[in-house]
Structure 1
């Protein structure tokens, strides 16, 4: 038999290389440069803890500490007689326990007692004698030490008593300390002397083991080692934060969807509003934040503008806090705002809050439309330039006429900006200086419309509402016109894609599905892990905010009820009175007379013609209603006609010189078919 050397069995003696497939594409190995090593150090840890970075967090911590301390003192003072009885019962027992423990220790202790008993039971005399000799030798030294300590202590007491240097309070303090110590050692292990001021914590300290066990409850992972931590678990505000790299093939959105399973897992067993997720730096990373207590039990700071202060529409305005209770402010200027939710989740409260913030800037002109008709925006009636309530035909037609006027105002502003010098308006948008110049008429206009689905689903004017609002959403922000739309039906009909796809800022409260989520927040937001479906029905006022901050953020909006909003409007009116932007008492708000575009086109129609070019119709409309159609051109007319259901088409006609030409216009048969029956010629008109 041939002997095989041992080292041939050793697998480490061989260089194992993977089989190369295809041409080599890996870059050559080279030493790393200093510039490449610097970024690998990772993010630096903050010097100041997260809970102490903001004044609000420091104030909240100080208030909590003071309140908790006073409550603890009062709680124990009321139970002091009960504690005194416990001390009197437990102190003698404790003195006996301490005394016997000292005697046993001085006599050699209990270290080898069980071994001596075992040797005696086995009749092992030699072992027993050896252990006894060890105990006796140990006891000799301990007895001397105990005697010396007792003598020194007793001598000090006698000397202090003889000299009288210790005041009576000192003797009482020492006696009380000895009695309390004795009572502590004399009490049963399961019966503390002091009662608990608060029940046990509603959370556990977050550890890697706890996080892994909770995430395994989602079903996305086979072993705890599948979840990795790129940084240590840290204290972040009133809770713990853990950044987790997920297993291969698992995205942050898949984990966010299982938030309920994570909160209820055996590792946590916490309320749903105590566990929060948000995507990390890539789709395979998620941040898990566990609060000390449920968010519903955490008091929220008051809105900073509730009792004092004025707003600046060109600067970020406070409108909520995050799940850690850090204040959040967002810029309302230069964006169109979209708010969506299922009913009874606080959508109208959020819209009203944003409008209140804008109203505290005296330069801002407020338009309010409450299409639900319950008067939720009635406090703005006193200062709003336009105010609509309900879905009656008169209100709908007046709102439509006002939006047409607003589109005309938008075009006027574009002409004004276009005519300003480059040094005055370098970016071709409204600035604070331009807004303050009243002669230019470029002050910001905030239009808040609640239940906007009433407009877009209107059987007669829905298409035109869609066209007008789409134009305002796209071009209005740069010209100082801010459109804020709120709806409880975020679907394709109630929220046209031209509007949902162009809104710059979005707030999505609780919704029920992926389609509604993406209609409000934007395409693929649900897939990327930003899901308003994670909110519970009790999370009223909680929203996912997109476009206000660098990344999508969970916002707990400030709560301002209707009576409080009335008081805020009082302050807003006072500010406007000082600035001279408040209408005079008794001044009637402008109400635009409603009109029908198709009926007006039919009224200016040339008799005997079956089709007319747009360039012939527009001047006649301007003569009919100069205040409405005076600024219209062919493109405006074409867009309005398309929204009204009669798009312009190519029409070929012969000119006076006999030559033919093709231009866009309107055909009479299409116009007549689209007109209501009572407005057609010969039928009641």
Structure 2
């Protein structure tokens, strides 16, 4: 119905009266009446909306309705899955789940640890494991040791088991005896009370007191017993949780990575495998692709103390992969473990004592350990040392103090300039100075003041890079070599194989002697005297070990003319600070060190100043040692060592040589060859020229002209010929005494 339509009643008009004439002025217009509608045929108004065929089908078709319901179910299910996944994978949900799982794992891990300890305490499993390791490494000495320990443990367990058989009888006897003694004691006390109070009934008073105490104890136990039984399981769970947490007995995927924990500090077996997987070693990649899985001889284990901690793991490698190959990729390995290269050390476990061939020994320090300050020198304010036990020189990455051996050992320190070599020697000498028995001598082949504060304690102190100093040091080496021989004879007289502290204390001529040669490249590199000095130094190191004569050398160069290779190979302790090349590395640490993963090339120049790669200072194949720093203020001329030296001087044993107690050596500037030859020939008619040369060296061991590089049989014959003495060759060159004396007699008086 059109809303403009009106009701019929409203459209009717009055038709009575004459109609006005059309068109006349003032008249109305003609009215035309519309036809009337048949109200009987009119229907009611219908209200609705237009729908699509699909909507109409939903209203009328049951199959369409069923399909719509299924679609709604799927949509709602997808929404539930989506929101559930979002909730489950949310950081807070994951952290909470890991927290709960981790602490639950601590309990089970602690239970496993306790069970393992109990099992090992009751069986020989621990010794069997160690025996297998000794067999695998081929170490017969360790194998014998652990077999003996295993038999001893079996015997002890057997004795304990037999003791249990007698235990009931012994316990019963002890209880019976205890009861009888208690009754007698209580009766005695009662008698004393009865006498004191004149009351016979007081005899039973002690028994009444004991009965009351027993009753109250029983009441207390009965009251506490219930809560204790309820709390006992939880106490046990807490104890297991504590043990597991301390051992970090939890799977790697449960480790904390949320706020408050640095994920880079965590090292897990899975993390190590992932790091190895991405090293880019083809043989490793192929093995992993073929299904090889590494076996851990030692799972990542926490090591260290205080702020200096890290993880150690020992893992096998697949066929075709050596520990050296992994060490060669050390920078990549460190990156994969979120560390600096200097914080990750991969070495050949097979080269260690008791180690397994083909296994990788991996140490991963906590991130930032190398940047933490080294503790103060432990003997800075108090204490003394014993050179027979070693002296402290620094700490490892684990925070353990390292003692460098002195008696029976020698040392070489090398590295780039300014990286801490001289400080290492300073710390070493400072430790030796605190032994009241030790004699110390120092040569510094530079005009620096590194050891000026030490001078009062030094029996001999020379410095400078002059030829005169080189000659003096060479003479000193000659003396040391002769002293080695003297001490060997002295030890033979005493019936001893090596010098001990007891011998040193009993015999003043057998004190420990420590000699330092700083910047020794100036000595060994000297054109005229370097070779002789090197030969003497090597021989002293080889022979002096048992005589109490120890030496230390530091240098900037690893060239053969700066530090003899035999010297590096024969010293007991080697320390290498930051170097650039593997040649320098092996020049200071010994051939093959770089290939074995012992690499000072990983140390950062200037950043790791004072840190060295050291061998021979512990039972480990090598250590990363951060040397203690003895503070020096060049502006004020202050040296912290001065106070230590003053304390050392105050505790010296009488007779220990210090500054001013030994005469300064006067170098021989010239000798008369003819007179010396006549002296060594003595009453002999003739002697071989080679024998004469040897006797001349014995006569004047420090005279430069008689040294091996200066004098031999042919040179002696030539020099004697120039002096008018003919040396005749009779199979060998022979020197005749008569000819020498004749030349002396005919020589002008002013010659």
* 1:434 counterpart = 2:507: no
Counterpart contact for 2:693–2:711, Cα < 8 Å? no
Counterpart contact for 2:575–2:612, Cα < 8 Å? yes
* 1:274 counterpart = 2:346: no
What do the CA deviations read for 1:512-534 (whole angstroms, capped 9, x no partner)?
A: 22222222222222222222222
Of stretches 382-391 and 242-251 in structure 1, the one that deviates more from structure 2 is 242-251
| Distance verdict in 2 for CA 1:605–1:552, change over 3 Å | same
The Cα shift of 1:343 comes to: 1.6
The Cα shift of 1:387 comes to: 0.7
Of stretches 483-492 and 611-620 in structure 1, the one that deviates more from structure 2 is 611-620
Match of 1:233 among 300, 303, 310: 300
2:612 — aligned with what? Answer: 543
1:646 — aligned with what? Answer: 711
* 1:581 counterpart = 2:646: no
The Cα shift of 1:430 comes to: 1.3
Cα separation, 2, equivalents of 1:558 and 1:311: 16
Cα separation, 1, equivalents of 2:598 and 2:482: 37
Counterpart contact for 2:433–2:648, Cα < 8 Å? yes
1:564 — aligned with what? Answer: 640
Q: Secondary structure at the match of 1:556?
A: strand
Counterpart contact for 2:327–2:597, Cα < 8 Å? yes
Q: Which has the larger helix fraction?
A: 2
Counterpart contact for 1:385–1:590, Cα < 8 Å? no
Cα separation, 2, equivalents of 1:650 and 1:122: 118
Cα separation, 1, equivalents of 2:65 and 2:445: 95
Cα separation, 2, equivalents of 1:361 and 1:516: 34
What do the CA deviations read for 1:519-572 (whole angstroms, capped 9, x no partner)?
A: 222222222222222222222222222223233222222222342222221221
Q: Secondary structure at the match of 1:501?
A: helix
Match of 2:676 among 590, 599, 604: 604
What do the CA deviations read for 1:28-70 (whole angstroms, capped 9, x no partner)?
A: xxxxxxxxxxxxxxxxxxxxxxxxxxxxxxxxxxxxxxxxxxx
Cα separation, 2, equivalents of 1:126 and 1:393: 101
Cα separation, 2, equivalents of 1:620 and 1:399: 21
The Cα shift of 1:122 comes to: 6.0
Match of 2:384 among 307, 310, 321: 310
What do the CA deviations read for 1:78-121 (whole angstroms, capped 9, x no partner)?
A: xxxxxxxxxxxxxxxxxxxxxxxxxxxxxxxxxxxxxxxxx999
| Distance verdict in 2 for CA 1:524–1:272, change over 3 Å | closer
The Cα shift of 1:582 comes to: 5.7
Cα separation, 1, equivalents of 2:631 and 2:272: 39
Of stretches 561-570 and 311-320 in structure 1, the one that deviates more from structure 2 is 561-570
The Cα shift of 1:229 comes to: 3.1
1:124 — aligned with what? Answer: 69
Match of 1:261 among 324, 332, 336: 332
Counterpart contact for 2:454–2:641, Cα < 8 Å? no
| Distance verdict in 2 for CA 1:500–1:649, change over 3 Å | farther
Q: Secondary structure at the match of 1:233?
A: strand
Cα separation, 1, equivalents of 2:716 and 2:696: 19
Cα separation, 2, equivalents of 1:291 and 1:620: 59
Superposed counterparts of 1:445-464, under 5 Å: 445-464=513-532
Counterpart contact for 1:648–1:665, Cα < 8 Å? no
TM-score by length of 1: 0.60
Task: Tell me the number of residue pairs that the alignment of Structure 1 and Structure 2 aligns.
Answer: 458
Counterpart contact for 2:519–2:555, Cα < 8 Å? yes
Q: Secondary structure at the match of 1:124?
A: helix
* 1:503 counterpart = 2:571: yes
Cα separation, 2, equivalents of 1:274 and 1:239: 9
TM-score by length of 2: 0.55
Counterpart contact for 2:713–2:733, Cα < 8 Å? no
Q: Secondary structure at the match of 2:392?
A: strand
Counterpart contact for 1:348–1:450, Cα < 8 Å? yes
The Cα shift of 1:306 comes to: 2.1
The Cα shift of 1:660 comes to: 5.2
Counterpart contact for 1:240–1:290, Cα < 8 Å? yes
Cα separation, 1, equivalents of 2:669 and 2:567: 24
The Cα shift of 1:593 comes to: 1.4
The Cα shift of 1:366 comes to: 0.5
The Cα shift of 1:457 comes to: 0.9
1:156 — aligned with what? Answer: none
Q: CA RMSD in A?
A: 4.0
2:535 — aligned with what? Answer: 467
1:492 — aligned with what? Answer: 560
What do the CA deviations read for 1:414-453 (whole angstroms, capped 9, x no partner)?
A: 2222222x3xx2x2x21112111244x0101100111111
Unpaired segments ≥5 residues, structure 1: 1-118, 132-196, 630-636, 667-680
2:176 — aligned with what? Answer: none
Cα separation, 2, equivalents of 1:126 and 1:489: 82
1:207 — aligned with what? Answer: 268
The Cα shift of 1:346 comes to: 0.7
Of stretches 473-482 and 205-214 in structure 1, the one that deviates more from structure 2 is 205-214
| Distance verdict in 2 for CA 1:412–1:245, change over 3 Å | same
The Cα shift of 1:455 comes to: 0.8
| Distance verdict in 2 for CA 1:198–1:372, change over 3 Å | farther
The Cα shift of 1:283 comes to: 4.6
Superposed counterparts of 1:342-381, under 5 Å: 342-381=416-455
Unpaired segments ≥5 residues, structure 2: 1-63, 77-257, 350-354, 633-638, 680-684, 721-727, 737-746
| Distance verdict in 2 for CA 1:310–1:619, change over 3 Å | same
What do the CA deviations read for 1:103-144 (whole angstroms, capped 9, x no partner)?
A: xxxxxxxxxxxxxxxx9996439998xx9xxxxxxxxxxxxx
Counterpart contact for 2:345–2:597, Cα < 8 Å? no
Counterpart contact for 1:648–1:664, Cα < 8 Å? no
2:410 — aligned with what? Answer: 336
The Cα shift of 1:364 comes to: 0.7
Cα separation, 2, equivalents of 1:612 and 1:444: 40
* 1:594 counterpart = 2:664: no
Cα separation, 2, equivalents of 1:462 and 1:628: 14
